[in-house]
Amino acid sequence: MPDDDDLRGDVAGDSAAMAAAVEAADPEAPGSGTAGPEAGDPSSDYDSPWKEALERYFEPFMALLWPALHPRIDWARPLRFLDKELQQIVRDAGSGRRHADKLVQVSTHEHGARLVLVHVEVEGRGGKGFAARMYRYYSRLRDVHPDAVIETLAVLTRRRRGPATMVHRDRGLSSTMEFRFGVVHLAGWLDRWPALEAAAGRNPFAVVVMAQLLAHHEGAPLAAGRLRGKIRLTRMLYGYGYDRQDVLELYRLIDWMIALSPDDETRFVAAGEQLEKEQTMAFVLTAERVGERKGRALGIQEGLREGMEKGLEKGQHAGQQALLRRQLSRRFGPLPSWVESRIAQAGPDELLEWADRVLDAPGLEGVFEPKR
């Protein structure tokens, strides 16, 4: 694709140099000895909340993390989120483990009616093979949309620093293919926390970024510990002046990203009740969520109990039907269709009554005669 059609800036980089620079500069990079949360830690599951945040706040996301590209997109025209198409491309590209991602069709001021696609991938550290995987996605998109403008962007949530561009190269005997894409090292905002707080007053995606950082850095730099960090971020959220719908949505994303232990959850509810007394907007979110969680748990238990009871009842009913058919067949021979129909439609009480009549009835009709 010609350079003048490419939304990317020309940032120099090399795959080997980039990897070396990241390992040397980022204390949280793989091999540095710093362990992140376990895979089973709820706070490490950023897939679903990030997908929702990208879909709801895609323009603020671009404004905060890719300010050079943001003004080149015509935000007055509607966006299209191509999730189903991306899922198919990902399957075809053999991606392995899935991460949060979005494929968005946008319009730009410079490309007119030409198709413009923005692919965003969110991952923790972007380890070995990440750049190659991003190239596979790009290549599949290019196969499907040969004339489109395709922009590829990556957010690495655990990295604090590193090159602004990743490169994948494929060298042949006399030719080289090179694929570059932009990268944001999200944890770098920890060094610019005051600027992030200031941005959050006008950009809701800054709140999402703060929640992500607090989840993975134990509440720093707001306070020591995830609980205190979450309480302070929630308090800050109510001071930004967002409308109720955004407050509800952002709170839900904060709550989703910053998981707490059961004990801390109880303390957070108490803090929410105190916050409710201080704010003109009622703080009902925490209590609603906790009540919903308890209700869901009780509902699951009740559903299981009800399902078992219904399953037993259904099994007993089927057993009654099978036993009656066997008794009738041994006494009267092959059963006509009208008998099968009566048995299929009968309730438990009727089946028992008919079974009692099998030995004494003179014929099939006698078994099914109405009770006198």
Report pLDDT for 261.
85
Give pLDDT < 50 ranges for the chain.
Answer: 1-25, 27-45, 96-97, 284, 287, 293-294, 296-298, 300-301, 304, 308
Report pLDDT for 203.
95
- Which residues have a Cβ under 8 Å from the Cβ of 144 and sit 6 or more positions away? 85, 89
Burial label for 293, CB within 10 Å (0-12, 13-18, 19+), is: exposed
Report pLDDT for 43.
39
Q: Is 41 left (phi over 0), alpha (psi -120 to 50) or beta?
A: beta
Report pLDDT for 285.
52
Report pLDDT for 304.
45
CA 131 – CA 179 distance, rounded (Å):
9
Cβ–Cβ under 8 Å, residues 29 and 125: yes
pTM of the predicted structure, to 2 decimals: 0.66
pLDDT tens digit sequence for 195-227: 999 999 899 999 999 999 988 876 666 656 788
- CA neighbours within 13 Å on the CB side: how many for 371? 8
pLDDT tens digit sequence for 147-161: 999 999 999 988 888
Report pLDDT for 221.
67
Q: What is the DSSP pairing of strand 176-185 with strand 149-156?
A: parallel
Residue reference for tokens 């696609």 = 117
